[in-house]
């Protein structure tokens, strides 16, 4: 603010604020200005007319201009918005529809996204890939895990692939992610969220039995591999340093899993995957048998197989004698212990994005007799990348009972019911028995009383026969009455029992 305007200022203004005081101190102080033009008469009529003519010409020109402008903008943009954008252009820049500028050129240096052990400090972005199929029932659990992840959410881009789903997986995912992105807590907001739909026409059912049956494995694994590749190729961007694959049916995992795995600074790393079991099955069980080290037996077996055959782990049909990550778990072991792997499971894989940039993917064909995630591990090894598992760092897969388990559980349930039924019957019987024979003491008393009265009678008879003593007879009668009272009660009780 110019100091001259402040009348209350202690410093006297050096220059007058008004432009036309021509050396005189102030207009207020000295009103008359000798140089001021003052018309003697009101403006003549022709001039007034002239003025209105000029205004008219101006208005017409402006209108024509607007019309012309809206024409040149093309027919697709509504004239109102064109006019608006004209008026606001450069001044406000706020035409709601098309005022923004487009950026068409992007430049990225891939050496900046190599992936390091402490990625969160270097703002490294992670692409989280989640393949989905008929998974609606698991989604609430999954999204609670997602919210809880401690890796900065703004550095996490989440991509879902929804394929061949008959339930509302797509709708659920969309709603859940929209809710997260509009969460009042900014820390919750993720980076890019892509939901990709693609149907492969999968014929294999998603229930446990058909998913895990041996015969279905090769075809199923190849389809899964295709789905994973489609998801990755559509979602990986030049700014991603890491890719994290996560299945939705993980029940328990540390919130810090991304940092925990990243710290190892390996090209591909997987945790151990177990699943909890009901007590009758032993309480817990190794789940993911696709993480293994190659064995001589398996290599020899691979040699004998057809080019298109796929070895699947964990089935008695292929005896590979491979050391499995899952079986090496020690619950009290050091979670940082590493184990070199050749095949990996897909429940939770953290890989550097450069692994995929080098061309490693999930083979949807038989690659060295393996497909999908196991083939992925094999291919990464083929390119001399590090593939590592953590035997003592465990996450827990959801327990879904198999058909056999269900049968067994039904059997157990039946047995339990039968057991309960038997228990109940036994209890009832005991009760009945107890109630039926509960008056034994009363009976005894009664019998005793009867016998006593009999004895008394006998005595009386003998006494009468002997000339009789009235006093003694009265006493005997009193005794008989006293004894008889409980006998009557127990008689009533007996009558009550059914």
Closest contact distance (angstroms) between CB of 25 and another protein is: 16
Helix, coil or strand: residue 351: strand
Window contacting another protein (CB under 8 A); options: 130-138, 263-271, 363-371, 451-459: 363-371
- What gap in Å lies between CA 307 and CA 151, rounded to an integer? 42
Closest CA to 185 of 155, 161, 158, 153: 153
Closest CA to 318 of 208, 206, 215: 215
Q: Within 13 Å, how many C-alpha atoms sit on residue 319's CB side?
A: 0
CB of 200 closer than 8 Å to CB of 209: no
Instruction: Give yes or no for residue 192 binding another protein (CB under 8 A).
Output: yes
Instruction: Please report, in angstroms and rounded to a whole number, the separation of the first and last CA atoms in the chain.
Output: 108
Binding to another protein, residues 14-43 (CB under 8 A): 18-20, 27, 33, 36-37
460's CB contacts (< 8 A; 6+ apart) are: 473, 476
Binding to another protein, residues 321-340 (CB under 8 A): none
Instruction: Give yes or no for residue 300 binding another protein (CB under 8 A).
Output: no
- What gap in Å lies between CA 242 and CA 349, rounded to an integer? 10
Residue 17 or 411 with smaller CB distance to another protein: 17
Binding to another protein, residues 257-296 (CB under 8 A): none
> x/- string (CB under 8 A) for another protein, residues 208-247?
-----------------xx--xx-xxxxxxx---------
Binding to another protein, residues 402-461 (CB under 8 A): none
- What gap in Å lies between CA 468 and CA 422, rounded to an integer? 65
Instruction: Give yes or no for residue 80 binding another protein (CB under 8 A).
Output: no
Window contacting another protein (CB under 8 A); options: 9-17, 66-74, 330-338, 464-472: 66-74
- What gap in Å lies between CA 313 and CA 212, rounded to an integer? 11
Q: Which two tokens stand for residue 114?
A: 């190599």
- Member of 111, 304, 332, 485 binding another protein (CB under 8 A): 111
- Member of 84, 113, 387, 395 binding another protein (CB under 8 A): 113
Instruction: Give yes or no for residue 191 binding another protein (CB under 8 A).
Output: yes
Closest contact distance (angstroms) between CB of 37 and another protein is: 6
DSSP 429-467: HHHHHHHHTTTHHHHHHHHHHHHHHHHHHHHHHHHHHTT
Residue 235 or 390 with smaller CB distance to another protein: 235
- Member of 67, 110, 433, 454 binding another protein (CB under 8 A): 110
- Member of 26, 50, 144, 436 binding another protein (CB under 8 A): 50
């Amino acid at each position: 603010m110019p100091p001259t305007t402040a009348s209350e200022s202690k410093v006297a203004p050096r220059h007058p604020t008004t432009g036309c005081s021509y050396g005189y101190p102030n207009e207020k102080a000295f009103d008359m200005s000798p140089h001021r033009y003052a018309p003697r008469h009101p403006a003549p009529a022709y001039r007034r007319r002239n003025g209105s003519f000029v205004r008219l010409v101006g208005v017409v020109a402006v209108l024509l201009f607007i019309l012309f402008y809206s024409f040149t903008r093309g027919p697709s943009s509504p004239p109102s918005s064109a006019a608006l954008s004209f008026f606001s252009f450069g001044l406000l820049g706020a035409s709601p529809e098309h005022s923004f500028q487009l950026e068409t050129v992007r430049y990225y240096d891939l050496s900046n996204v190599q992936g390091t052990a402490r990625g969160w400090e270097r703002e490294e972005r992670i692409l989280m890939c989640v393949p989905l199929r008929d998974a609606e029932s698991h989604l609430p659990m999954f999204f609670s895990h997602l919210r809880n992840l401690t890796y900065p959410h703004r550095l996490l881009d989440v991509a879902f692939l929804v394929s061949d789903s008959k339930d509302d997986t797509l709708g659920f995912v969309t709603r859940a992610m929209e809710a997260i992105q509009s969460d009042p807590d900014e820390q919750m907001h993720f980076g890019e969220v892509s939901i990709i739909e693609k149907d492969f026409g999968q014929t294999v059912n998603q229930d446990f039995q058909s998913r895990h049956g041996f015969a279905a494995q090769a075809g199923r694994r190849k389809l899964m591999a295709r789905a994973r590749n489609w998801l990755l190729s559509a979602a990986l961007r030049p700014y991603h340093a890491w890719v994290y694959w996560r299945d939705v049916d993980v029940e328990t995992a540390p919130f810090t899993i991304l940092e925990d795995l990243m710290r190892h600074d390996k090209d591909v790393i997987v945790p151990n995957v177990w699943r909890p079991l009901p007590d009758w099955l032993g309480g817990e069980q190794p789940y993911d048998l696709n993480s293994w080290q190659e064995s001589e037996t398996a290599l020899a077996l691979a040699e004998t197989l057809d080019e298109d055959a796929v070895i699947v782990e964990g089935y008695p049909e292929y005896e590979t004698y491979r050391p499995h990550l899952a079986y090496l778990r020690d619950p009290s072991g050091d979670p940082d212990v590493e184990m070199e792997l050749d095949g990996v499971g897909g429940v939770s894989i953290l890989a550097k994005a450069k692994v995929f940039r080098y061309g490693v993917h999930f083979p949807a064909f038989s690659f060295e007799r393996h497909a999908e995630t196991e083939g992925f591990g094999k291919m990464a090894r083929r390119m001399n990348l590090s593939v590592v598992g953590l035997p003592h760092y465990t996450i827990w897969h959801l327990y879904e009972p198999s058909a056999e388990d269900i049968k067994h559980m039904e059997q157990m349930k039946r047995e339990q019911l039968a057991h309960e039924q038997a228990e109940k019957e036994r209890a009832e019987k005991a009760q009945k028995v107890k109630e039926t024979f509960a008056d034994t003491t009363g009976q005894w008393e009664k019998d005793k009383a009867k016998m006593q009265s009999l004895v008394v009678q006998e005595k009386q008879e003998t006494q009468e026969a002997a000339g009789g003593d009235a006093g003694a007879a009265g006493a005997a009668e009193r005794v008989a009455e006293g004894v008889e009272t409980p006998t009557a009660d127990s008689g009533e009780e007996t009558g009550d029992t059914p």
